[in-house]
């Protein structure tokens, strides 16, 4: 039996409230070590016995050797339970599942453009921090991130205190509409990407609501980007994680086995189900 199928006990050691409906949970083994290793972009199944289980992105970088983190948006019965948890309580974790982003191959030596909307930053945080921890392997990094309002920006303190102060990294934040106390850019992410008018010699990593991805991808193509330069993740389609339940089947692909990371031109070969 594959090791990734066996649930492992995890202890919640820290809970951070990122937004009104998103919390980030820090998890270790009962021995106080990392539960298992992963690559940026992979996911894990979190379960509360008797309540349910669901797939979540691992939002901490593999370069973090002490713990794993998961950013969870409250949107159902399991996430409701998770949001009621306290430090010291236990859950089970199994994984990792899926393929990760090609950080050690395709991305190496490239200028990178990360584009995220809302909770879509969570799956990209692992990749961004991996790149930050291996800074000499990559070129210039741009991060475009937007949400409905300033209170909905996930990992805001980390972005302002760390990412914005890193050499060779430019962060571009935006919110959907004017808000008191916000003096940054106002507007939707797809339009902001076009306004910024990036050089096309970049590899793009994008995650967010499907409608945001659709219009952002169209905007990137208007700027001259090719779909072969753009990567996204589709973990929302996964359920069992092992290609058995069929929920993530799209055409001849299983998102859990063949994804969740896909290059956007690969998605053109699949039926339009997402």
Q: Which residue reads 């050089």 in tokens?
A: 199
Joined tokens for residue 81: 């339970």
Q: What is the pLDDT of residues 181-213, one digit of tens each?
A: 999 999 999 999 999 999 999 999 999 998 999
The CA–CA distances, whole Å, from 264 to 21, 204, 235, 240, 259 equal 29, 10, 15, 24, 12
Cα 248 to Cα 33, 110, 219, 252, distances in angstroms: 32, 31, 27, 11
Residue 1's pLDDT is what? 41
CB atoms within 10 A of CB 1: 5
Domain ranges of the chain: 3-97, 112-233
Q: Report helix, strand and coil shares of the chain as percent, to nearest 5.
A: 30, 30, 40
Expressed in angstroms, the distance from the first to the final Cα of the chain is: 31
- Each residue of 216-230: pLDDT tens digit? 999 999 999 999 999
Identify the DSSP state of 41: T
pLDDT, residue 264, reads 83
Fold identical between 3-97 and 112-233? no
pLDDT at 196: 97
Token pair of 78 as six digits: 């399991």
How far is the C-alpha of 179 from the C-alpha of 107, rounded, in Å? 36
pLDDT reported for residue 210: 87
Q: Which residues of the chain have pLDDT under 70?
A: 1-2, 235-248, 251-254, 256, 258-259, 269-274
What residues are paired with 12 via a beta bridge?
Answer: 27
* 39 contacts 63 by C-beta, under 8 angstroms: no
The contacts of residue 104 (CB under 8 Å, 6+ apart) are none
Give the C-alpha separation, 99 to 223, whole Å.
29
| Best CATH choice for the domain 112-233 from the list 3.40.50.1980, 3.10.300.10, 3.40.50.80, 3.10.20.30 | 3.40.50.80
The bridge status of strand 112-117 relative to strand 203-207 is parallel
Return the pLDDT at 233: 85
> SS3 for 174?
strand
3-97 — its CATH code? 2.40.30.10
Alpha carbons 180 and 191: distance in angstroms, whole number: 22
Two tokens, residue 61: 């970088």
Q: What is the pTM of this model?
A: 0.92
State the burial class of residue 240 (Cβ atoms within 10 Å of its Cβ: 0-12, 13-18, 19+). Answer: middle
271 exposure class (CB count in 10 Å sphere: 0-12, 13-18, 19+): exposed
94 DSSP β-pair partners? 45
Residue 240 confidence (pLDDT) = 64
Return the pLDDT at 219. Answer: 95
């Amino acid at each position: 039996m594959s090791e990734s199928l066996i649930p492992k006990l995890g202890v919640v050691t820290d809970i951070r409230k990122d937004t009104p409906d998103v919390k980030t949970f820090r998890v270790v083994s009962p021995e106080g070590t990392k539960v298992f290793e992963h690559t940026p972009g992979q996911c894990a199944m979190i379960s509360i016995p008797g309540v349910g289980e669901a797939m979540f992105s691992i939002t901490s970088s593999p370069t973090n050797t002490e713990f794993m983190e998961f950013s969870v948006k409250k949107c159902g019965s399991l996430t409701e339970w998770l949001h009621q948890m306290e430090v010291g309580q236990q859950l089970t974790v199994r994984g990792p599942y899926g393929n990760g982003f090609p950080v050690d191959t395709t991305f190496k030596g490239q200028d990178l453009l990360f584009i995220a909307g809302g909770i879509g930053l969570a799956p990209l945080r692992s990749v961004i921090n991996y790149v930050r921890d291996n800074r000499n392997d990559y070129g210039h990094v741009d991060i475009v991130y937007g949400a409905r309002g300033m209170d909905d920006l996930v990992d805001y303190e980390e972005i302002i205190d760390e990412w914005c102060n890193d050499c060779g990294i430019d962060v571009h934040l935006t919110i959907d509409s004017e808000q008191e106390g916000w003096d940054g850019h106002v507007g939707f992410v797809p339009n902001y990407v076009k306004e910024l008018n990036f050089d096309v010699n970049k590899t793009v990593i994008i995650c967010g609501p499907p409608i945001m991805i659709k219009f952002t991808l169209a905007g990137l193509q208007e700027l001259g980007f090719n779909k072969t330069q753009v990567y996204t993740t589709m973990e929302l389609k996964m359920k069992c994680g092992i290609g058995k339940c069929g929920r993530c089947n799209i055409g001849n692909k299983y998102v859990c086995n063949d994804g969740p990371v896909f290059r956007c031109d690969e998605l053109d070969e699949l039926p339009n189900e997402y």
